[in-house]
Chain A
Amino acid sequence: MGEVIKGSRVRGQRVRKTEIKPDLSVNIAGIEMKNPVMTASGTFGYGIEYAPYIDLNRLGAIVLKGLSARPRKGNPPPRICETPSGMLNAIGLENIGAEAFIKEKLPLLRKYDTKIILNIFGDSIPEYVEVAEILDKVDGITGLEINISCPNVQKGGMVFGTDPVTASEVLTAVRNATSLPLIAKLSPNVTDITTFAKIAEDSGCNAVSLINTLLGMAVDIRTRRPMLANITGGLSGPAIKPVALRMVWQASKAVKIPVIGIGGIMTADDAIEFLLVGARAVQIGTANFVNPTATVDIIEGIEKYLTKNNLSDINQIIGRVVI
Chain B
Amino acid sequence: MKAEILSHLNLTGPYYKLKLYSPHIYKNAMPGQFAMLRVGETSDPLLRRPFSIHKKNPDKTIEILYKIVGKGTRLLSTLVKGKDMDIIGPLGNGFVIDKKIKNHILIAGGIGIAPLLFLAHELSRDKRSRITLFLGARHKEDILCIQNFKRLKARINISTEDGSLGKQGLISELFEVSLADLNEQKIAVYSCGPNNMLREIHRLAAAKGLPCQVSLEARMGCGIGACLGCVVEGKEGYEKVCTDGPVFDAGEVEWGRL
Contacts and interface: CB of A to CB of B under 8 A. Distances in A.
Given A43-B226, A53-B88, 9 more contacts: A65-B228, A73-B238, A74-B231, A79-B219, A79-B231, A80-B220, A80-B221, A87-B47, A237-B46
B257 A45 contact: no
Interface residues of B, number: 27
B203 interface: no
Interface string A23-51: 00000000000000000001111000110
A80 B226 contact: no
Interface string A222-245: 000000000000000110000000
Contact of A79 (B88, B228, B257): B228
Nearest to B257: A76
Contact of A289 (B48, B218, B231, B232): B48
Contact of B46 (A76, A94, A286): A286
Contact of A290 (B47, B225, B228, B230): B47
B230 to A, nearest CB: 8
Interface in A68-84: 73-74, 76-82, 84
Nearest to B224: A49
6 contacts: A43-B227, A77-B238, A79-B230, A80-B227, A85-B43, A91-B227
Query: DSSP majority for the B interface?
Result: loop
> Chain A: interface residue count, which band?
20 to 34
A89 B219 CA distance: 11
Contacts of B48: 289-290
A77 B232 contact: yes
Given A76-B257, A288-B222, A289-B226, A82 B47 contact: yes
Query: DSSP majority for the A interface?
Result: loop
Given A73-B238, A289-B222, A91 B43 contact: no
Contacts of B237: 73
A266 interface: yes
Contact of B221 (A73, A74, A87): A87
B34 to A, nearest CB: 15
A181 interface: no
A151 interface: no
Contacts of B232: 77
A86 interface: yes
Interface in B211-258: 218-233, 237-238, 257
B46 A79 contact: no
Contact of A74 (B44, B225, B238): B238
